[in-house]
Amino acid sequence: MNDGMSEQPYAELGLKDDEYARICTILGRKPSDTELAMYSVMWSEHCSYKSSKVHLRQFGDKAPETDVLLVGMGENAGVVDVGDGLAVTFKVESHNHPSYVEPYQGAATGVGGIVRDILTMGARPIAVMDSLRFGEIDHPDSRRLVGGVVAGVGGYGNCLGLPNIGGEVVFDPSYAGNPLVNALCLGVMRHEQIQLARAEGVGNKVVLLGAKTGRDGIGGVSVLASATFDEESPSKRPSVQVGDPFTEKVVIECCLELFERGLVTGIQDLGGAGLSCATSETASHGGSGMLVDLDLVPLREPSMTPVEVITSESQERMLAIVRPGDVDDVLGVCTRWGVLATVIGEVTDTRRLQVRWHGEIVVDVPPASLADEGPVYDRPFARPADQDALQADTSAALARPKTGAELAETLLRLAGSPNLASRKWVTEQYDRYVLGGTVLAMPHDSGVVRLVDDSDRGVALSLDGNGRYARLDPYAGAQLALAEAYRNVSVSGARPLAVTNCLNFGSPEDPDVMWQFAEATRGLADGCRDLGVPVTGGNVSFYNQTGATAILPTPVVGVLGVLDDVNLRVPSGFVRAGDVVMLLGETYDEFDGSEWAWVTHGHLGGRPPLPRLPAERQLSNVLQTAADERLISCAHDLSDGGLGQTLVEAALVSGIGVSVTLDGDPFVALFSESAARAVVTCADADVDRLLEIVADHDVAVTRLGRTGGDAFVVTGEFALPLDTLRETHESTLPRHLS
């Protein structure tokens, strides 16, 4: 059994002394080289969630009562009932570290991996989104990183023929050495088509299908995902997977035919940890054993060792469990699609995962010890020593614009700032309308897609986060990210149903970081309970830091909502002149952590805007009702940059100006980032009915003015031509990144 290693380098593989000792106890002996490699990848943070499990349990413990969940946390992705016998599955995951080392392939394989997660649930992938974060836009490395990541996301998704319907791009100094690349995929199926990653049925065959196995990505989850970055990071390029979207496309179609014909009893993709993960998880979840012969695995390089074969993260591969009588049909389907497929093992009754190489058993372990029984740490956490001082340093003393000219200059400066400027330079590299199901995409607040060709039913998706808010107060920051995504879905007219999340933080071994993580997780779990939207699954990404400097705590939250009729969806831009413009929700003097404080003063301190979750639910109900009754022609949420930025974006969508009159302090009215607010427009004939709905739900409303003209006018303060706003808004990213 032992591969000849006397002193095993478990520390170099990322295992702690006590973890290695526990492996020896589980096995009753020292592990073989191959077993040790498998434990090192399966017990990594990426695969085992060993530092986050104790906190993630809140998502189940505090989950709201709902009948929409068909598959919850614990599978490759959650599945939600959206009516008419249809179900959708969606999930967001990180590919942060690989994208720093090799931006194009890191981002591309991030898309490929999340698409396969959706495929394993039995669904046809129909759309993708991404949440991207980089260092300052003028940082010397930003052009390389942004250009490579955007090209990788676009290149892989475009080749798969999947529309990219939205997301976010954020710039902040904390991400300079550690960009965040979070990718989301959405898939659709009928209820009866759900697949699970389980190896059941003694004697059933284990079929590996897709690309050959190579040395790319070996140990990626332990080499990259559980390590911080330093000047040696470029040497880790071999740990980055290499993607082939054309192979993935035929694998998708091949698998969908296998599902349709009922030829597989279980399915799992090969992503992080490769065969180590796919074999151990399917065997563990099926309560079975498995015998795998690595000699049968098709290899790109014949000289590969068993350790390399079992831990390779080569892309575009799937593991299927197939009844013996169906093997020929499975292989026939794969041959017709041009997909390589090989029987590499079978399901056994041993409750052991056994792996053979050159006739010798090199792995003999309980599969659950790899997949489900890894270490669980309740790591110490403590409120950072500087947290009180940070929160005491409010924005109250910062100089505010007072005159109309100063307000106009501030509006222009924000509209052209890196985080508020047009994302057209990015989104034009993505195909947003392929497949013909896209109803709304960027620059609208949420992406909306029709689910199937013969129905008007659709879903809306939004993906949001704010690291500055979370730095000031991680509990409130997580809730504000949730609230913004919830609000973005609501303004489209959709009914929010469920949540996915990607939690990006620094080292879990730092008590300050763990406090941020614990607070953010608690805030998100409480927020989902209060909004009535369950968490269906997601991802945790730790060790996002350069040296001792961690990124801003960045919980990214995706919310999915359903539209019974996509023809009733509401766009985020003005659609005609002469409409009445109204503000729904209340505005407060809330500027700590705001874009205004950061862009004009470089200031980060104080407390973020107060999350107002009951008000978010009331606002959502108003928006849904108004959309269903066709009362509103446009709806746009208020978030970063406040009312001023919202009106700029709404006006520039179709080049329709707006004139408004503001009550009270115009600075607060224009730039506050208070939550639970949205701008809507409607015809004069619909105003009274809209006001009735607003009153019924106890939502504050302010009549601002009207759409029309070719300028953004604030009565008594300033008038800015739309041409000036467009030039400012759309030139920033091309100027810095082209």
What is the Cα–Cα distance from 680 to 668, expressed in whole angstroms? Answer: 19
Residue 312, phi then psi, degrees to nearest 5: -60, 140
What is the Cα–Cα distance from 265 to 200, expressed in whole angstroms? Answer: 7
Q: How far is CA 598 from CA 133, 457, 549, in A?
A: 16, 41, 20
* Joined tokens for residue 256: 């969908």
For the CA atoms of 276, 281, 282, 286, the dihedral, rounded to the nearest 10 degrees, stands at: 140
Rounded to 5°, angle at Cα 179 from 173 and 181: 140
Signed CA dihedral, 661, 663, 664, 666: sign only? negative
Look-up of token digits 């390590």 = 227
Residue spans of beta strands (DSSP E) within 451-504: 458-464, 495-504
Tell me, yes or no, if 46 is annotated catalytic. Answer: yes
The SS3 of residue 212 is: coil
What is the Cα–Cα distance from 350 to 361, expressed in whole angstroms? Answer: 14
What is the Cα–Cα distance from 466 to 482, expressed in whole angstroms? Answer: 10
* Joined tokens for residue 35: 């077993």
Longest dimension (CA), the chain: 85
Residue pair 428/420 in contact by the 8 Å Cβ criterion: no
Residue pair 558/524 in contact by the 8 Å Cβ criterion: no
What is the Cα–Cα distance from 542 to 514, expressed in whole angstroms? Answer: 10
Residue pair 394/605 in contact by the 8 Å Cβ criterion: yes
The SS3 of residue 575 is: coil
Tell me, yes or no, if 601 is annotated catalytic. Answer: no
What is the Cα–Cα distance from 347 to 203, expressed in whole angstroms? Answer: 5
Residue pair 490/621 in contact by the 8 Å Cβ criterion: no
SS3 content of the chain, % helix, strand, coil (to 5): 40, 25, 40
Q: How far is CA 454 from CA 68, 84, 162, 508, 610, in A?
A: 22, 11, 19, 48, 43
Residue 50, phi then psi, degrees to nearest 5: -65, -25
Find the catalytic residue in 95, 97, 139, 603. Answer: 95
* Joined tokens for residue 96: 């942060």
Other C-beta atoms lying within 10 Å of the C-beta of residue 601: 13
Residue pair 126/256 in contact by the 8 Å Cβ criterion: no
Angle between helices 613-628 and 474-491 (to 10 degrees): 10
What is the Cα–Cα distance from 308 to 299, expressed in whole angstroms? Answer: 10
Find the catalytic residue in 46, 55, 603, 729. Answer: 46
* Residues designated as active site: 46, 95
